[in-house]
Structure 1
């Protein structure tokens, strides 16, 4: 059994059981929608009551707001400027409507600017930093926006793909937490996990183009209580799309680069269309590139659209829609042995199908012959094909002078196929390999409603979030030809019927979250914040198809698991003890819902037997943590600085662990017990002279297991070992010079050593990486308002290094195929015009 089998199974998949009917044709069950198998329970009763309470609260508030506006004499607006306050009615003393309060993020000091105004989060009671749209311009156009977020301290972004299209070869960590343990939103719509094959996730690079992002707020410690997420153990990342422009115009951008990279972006803004202020934009984003290693390619196209409609003077309606489509070939996984023996040049055989046939028959290329398992070194192809739909609408209202509401309804859908040519399952044609598809579809529907009430020095905020999700994963196999001259199965076209289905599951999940918080300005320079969230995640599955010859049982695990927390508290504060100087602290408890996946995978529902799952139902507890942080901020025109100290007590940490020999490793869902994390982030941005800024940051993280582990009858000494994949030490530097349309920036990253195994007996070395960019912007260039020319070099010194790791899980001890090689030096040029 191959270690690579874990790749599209989210964990390792055992080989076919002898005697399995490989040639049997099975019906395609993937699109079947699951109904929840969960019986009525007290948890559901509580959740229903919470749902009704939230709806009633919203309805009563809106009714009260409508009456209050009527009493105050507020009339529908005829101006194109939303939220402009009308004058007081004549003859009514002191009855005029006061200016509207600026909408604030909970946790910010009342009366202070929103948290996003400063890169170091001035005024926030938590560690809060922001990435502006200008920061995104320093990257290669089309690169995933997570790359810009990765420049902040404590955040580790890695990718083998220069444009970040391939999800398999990238990872995102924040204070040691993976992207599936963080909270992500775009315009208030929950994006779910950002990892490869995340059951509920929409990667932000599939949801919005960089040019349409106005700002990004990042909380590295504890996220805001109102974030719609059930996975934010280690913080939140909130993306805010910019609104359509008030004047008609547009942007066109064209990028060319190494490895035939070609990216086109076009956006049209309607401008204000009528006296009520209606406006919209629509954009199209297309990019493709050849892989820098191997013979395959990557492609993505995306459409974004947004409409803004003011309703009267105090209400704004917005609706957003996104569609994206991808066919992204991935880079193959490497082990330390493969890199030492063969070098950095290992990739899939594609397009040499004959070589893949030979390898499946035990005839290997010369460079692979010295490996302990040459069959597991390379395969014909690995590619993901997907399509995503994200839609939402929001209503933002100033109900009274002191009462604000925001309600968002959304729908998310995706179809995802993770392909890999398996040399361990034969085709009916007689070929010793087949096209394996880890298929999934997800549909999420939900809404969130929030009320914010200002009373004297208090800002009260409460809200309710509900979501229903249907998730259907399946493992299917398609026929490959038994001839080197024949045409292999076309994964992108994806036609035909699978000849074999190992398993197919259907999940139905209901999420109920209620939050309540108060931000209290005790003194003009002292703010305290306290609140809590109640979370109920009711998930269950049923088996849609089962191949007993593969699973070894006629009754695979099925049933429900509830992740419930009556109160997850958060306490924080901010003290501005001198002009431009402030201290802050934060204490919070967080919980993550159970991950969902299919048979034999790193999920409670991936248990080997029904009895194992029944045991988990009684004994398993969700991942939880307590996060403590304290920090200092300095915010002056010349110096912006941050020092943040944090400690995390992590309980019931559940990991995907690969055990057994390298060639026969399989992933297990293990509770590795408690983890204690201590770390520090520090950053400073200096502006010594006009036009020049220098940014430096350093972060240190010690994340140690507190328990030993016995797995498969083998004892592993984990206690005191560092968690794998995340660097203990990172340093980042950026120098930026901007004057009269000319911009020059140079970035440096130092990534410290990272452990591969849980017992820390294997690791990858540290590395330095540099990027350089230069641009010039011409104003009033003919018909264009601005014309910009940009040139950049990634990996200036052509460093050879290991970038992403842990893509298929990590071994408890030793080596494993789970490493990705970083891209070599590459060049990109862009011409863009704004009209």
Structure 2
């Protein structure tokens, strides 16, 4: 490890002493020449840490992959996707500086073309891969910790990832691609760029379809269809952009396992491939674990650039529908509720369950004295689950449970910057959004559990039906001034967030919470030490509004002693150095973050101090947690020997809990937060040939709150090869491109993300070849 650190320091020392012409920060040749595509990106000149993907990172990522995978090589970022090509939202986790996105936490902002994604959680959220194909992405920008003041997210405690779509080409072009790979992976992509259809107006339409089998076992898989339309019109001082995307995905999931289970068999996540006819065993049949999601997202953006005034206004609309599936090995007995005309019961409560019936369909109990049990899964099942404990002719029963998610969002962002002089700019803006999330759970009877998991269309029980309405208003103002080589900025913003919970069965009283922030301050400075080197420092107070899952958890608690909740906050400090010339781009950033008001669920008797007012059996969410993070992030991109590029990134992070509450102990390291990451990439470009090898090492991490489970370190490698046939080498065809991508080249078995104490196995090796034509 010392050799790695010394090597990294030597590389950065070289970067700081290199001399050459200064390179452009961002350049794209796509709109100037439809056959030549190049993206050169370094960190933007800001007062906070930020990094962006470059062309090499896009080439290293197969087109079939999730766009999330493109940012995994950047400093400070840890992306873990349990499914091949990121094909399972359930097992996708993201970590930045001790903040996480996963099944249990949503602490990182995510935007598409600068517009909010509507949160990233599994139940009704939508990560960036639901909005964008790789071929349609120009780049992804990561603001670690201190993000731009206008960033429209109330989850951005640990920063924001902004995924930017590319514009239509100036020339007419048709693009068709086909990919095939391991695990029966197939993908088709087409895109038509219109060229200029009206004065300074161009558009494109694209469509893709892909499917693949699960990489673990022999059953289950995923399929996805995606379509996008974008139009851009530039008229005098105005630029108008419209974009529409549709995404329809059906995914079978991967399951979390314990550290001991991984040590016993690192190739299996304990989901099964065949129907045994025993519902207790078949509850872990992979095709019964499903995620279904459909997303529509549309926006219109108007941008005006005048002599002294810049204005951007962008209204948007998002419609999300989804379902999460599981097959419980029993039928529920329901009391109360309202019976519908089709026989379904709405509401009521579960008073019992049964697992077998007699031939007439009447529930029966196991034979008295039978002690036969099942050893799999989940530590085994009781005699009530074992067919050996029932008379001959008894029939198993089971449920197919749907958790249904729906969300509609409508909103607008507006930003105005007025240049008082060449050295002073005032900026102000707002973000408004109204969101209505609908969630309900239905239970369906399996038709014949002895042969499959097919189920009756009409549910026998609708367990609950709720709407969560969120109204958000964020306002901000900022002043930026330059004094010679020094640029300073200061700003303030505030969130006003109203959250309402409505029980559509009328069983529970409606609940409401306000999640308004205090005034949040930002400040920063950049000093241009030389023509090639900037020194920067920044501070921001980040905010995360109360989630609707919190109001759901508090709805049943009426104890008047429970204090009001406040939104979570994080104070972020960045300081660092950036260097850029024609051959070398490098950045080193140090940071310190204090995360306060962490919302944690506590129960009576769990050891949390100051909650004596909770009665036995009661629990609630409280602001009783905190995290402190500090570390260093560094990156280097160096061109050498005309045709080669070396890229490296380094992350050293320490994140600790600052308060003892529930399972959390003050001083312990944050569960699942990487402490050391190192990336090294060597790539080659010449005469249409490209190739590269990239490796990423992730050090040991604590996996649980108690810091008793130390997850092993791991190193993975990605390989890519490609060749582009010379332009017009074949009449009628502009270019032909061949590529081969191999992710996790050595087929390394490792534990990726998860939740504290249970973890997903990282995706295995996947090779995929692609053939692309551009006409």
Is the shorter-chain TM-score for this pair beyond 0.5, marking a shared fold? Answer: yes
> Out of 734, 748, 762, which is 1:822 matched to?
762
- Distance in 2, Cα, partners of 1:479 & 1:443: 30
> Out of 731, 747, 752, which is 2:678 matched to?
731
- Distance in 2, Cα, partners of 1:758 & 1:496: 42
Q: 1:344 Cα shift?
A: 2.5
> Out of 476, 484, 495, which is 1:515 matched to?
476
**Residue 704 of structure 2 is aligned to residue 757 of structure 1:** yes
Deviations 1:180-200 (CA, angstroms, capped at 9, x unpaired)? 222221123211322422x4x
Residue 610 of structure 2: aligned partner: none
Alignment of 1:685-696 (within 5 A): 685-696=637-648
Deviations 1:386-434 (CA, angstroms, capped at 9, x unpaired)? 1100011011123x41111111010001001011112365589764431
**Residue 749 of structure 2 is aligned to residue 800 of structure 1:** yes
Secondary structure of the residue aligned to 2:75 is: coil
Equivalent pairs counted in the alignment come to 664
- Distance in 1, Cα, partners of 2:24 & 2:313: 23
**Residue 133 of structure 2 is aligned to residue 206 of structure 1:** no
Q: Is the 8 A contact 2:177 2:773 kept in 1?
A: yes
**Residue 467 of structure 2 is aligned to residue 506 of structure 1:** yes
Residue 90 of structure 2: aligned partner: 168
Deviations 1:10-43 (CA, angstroms, capped at 9, x unpaired)? xxxxxxxxxxxxxxxxxxxxxxxxxxxxxxxxxx
- Distance in 1, Cα, partners of 2:265 & 2:72: 31
Deviations 1:716-753 (CA, angstroms, capped at 9, x unpaired)? 56111000011111111111111111111101011112
Structure 1 pair 113/734, CA: closer, same or farther in 2 (3 Å)?
A: closer
> Out of 344, 354, 374, which is 2:267 matched to?
344
Alignment of 1:459-538 (within 5 A): 459-485=425-451, 487-489=452-454, 496-523=457-484, 525-538=485-498
**Residue 529 of structure 2 is aligned to residue 577 of structure 1:** yes
Higher relative contact order (CA 8 A, sep 6+): 1
Residue 187 of structure 1: aligned partner: 113
- Distance in 2, Cα, partners of 1:615 & 1:313: 61
Alignment of 1:144-293 (within 5 A): 144-179=66-101, 180-197=106-123, 199=124, 201-274=125-198, 276-293=199-216
> Out of 377, 391, 395, which is 2:298 matched to?
391
- Distance in 1, Cα, partners of 2:330 & 2:744: 37
Structure 1 pair 659/155, CA: closer, same or farther in 2 (3 Å)?
A: farther
Residue 512 of structure 2: aligned partner: 560
Q: 1:496 Cα shift?
A: 2.1
Q: 1:781 Cα shift?
A: 3.5
Secondary structure of the residue aligned to 1:461 is: strand
Residue 369 of structure 2: aligned partner: none
> Out of 428, 440, 453, which is 2:405 matched to?
440
Secondary structure of the residue aligned to 1:137 is: helix
Secondary structure of the residue aligned to 1:202 is: coil
- Structure 1, unpaired ranges of 5+: 1-111, 361-374, 547-553, 598-602, 811-815
**Residue 370 of structure 2 is aligned to residue 404 of structure 1:** no
**Residue 574 of structure 2 is aligned to residue 629 of structure 1:** yes
Deviations 1:196-234 (CA, angstroms, capped at 9, x unpaired)? 22x4x3221110111111122211121111111111111
Secondary structure of the residue aligned to 2:251 is: strand
Deviations 1:751-799 (CA, angstroms, capped at 9, x unpaired)? 1122221110123211111111111111224222111110122222221
Structure 1 pair 380/335, CA: closer, same or farther in 2 (3 Å)?
A: farther
TM-score w.r.t. length of structure 1: 0.76
Residue 39 of structure 1: aligned partner: none
**Residue 649 of structure 2 is aligned to residue 700 of structure 1:** no
Deviations 1:597-620 (CA, angstroms, capped at 9, x unpaired)? 3xxxxx2322372315x655x332
Residue 109 of structure 1: aligned partner: none
Q: Is the 8 A contact 1:332 1:346 kept in 2?
A: yes
Larger strand share, 1 or 2 = 2
- Structure 2, unpaired ranges of 5+: 1-22, 28-38, 333-352, 355-360, 364-395, 607-617
Deviations 1:686-712 (CA, angstroms, capped at 9, x unpaired)? 223211111111111111111112x3x
Residue 230 of structure 2: aligned partner: 306
- Distance in 1, Cα, partners of 2:228 & 2:532: 39
Q: Is the 8 A contact 2:84 2:214 kept in 1?
A: no
Structure 1 pair 343/154, CA: closer, same or farther in 2 (3 Å)?
A: closer
Residue 328 of structure 1: aligned partner: 251
Q: 1:252 Cα shift?
A: 1.0
Deviations 1:623-677 (CA, angstroms, capped at 9, x unpaired)? 101001100111122322111100001101235799999xxxx998564512111
Q: Is the 8 A contact 1:185 1:239 kept in 2?
A: yes
Q: 1:309 Cα shift?
A: 2.6
Residue 368 of structure 2: aligned partner: none
> Out of 399, 418, 429, which is 1:453 matched to?
418
- Distance in 2, Cα, partners of 1:389 & 1:831: 29
Secondary structure of the residue aligned to 2:668 is: coil
Q: Is the 8 A contact 1:639 1:686 kept in 2?
A: yes
Secondary structure of the residue aligned to 2:83 is: coil
Secondary structure of the residue aligned to 2:58 is: helix
Residue 772 of structure 1: aligned partner: 719
Q: Is the 8 A contact 1:118 1:129 kept in 2?
A: no
Residue 54 of structure 1: aligned partner: none
Deviations 1:488-536 (CA, angstroms, capped at 9, x unpaired)? 236xxxx72221122221111111111111111111x210011111110
Q: 1:236 Cα shift?
A: 1.2
- Distance in 2, Cα, partners of 1:781 & 1:115: 30
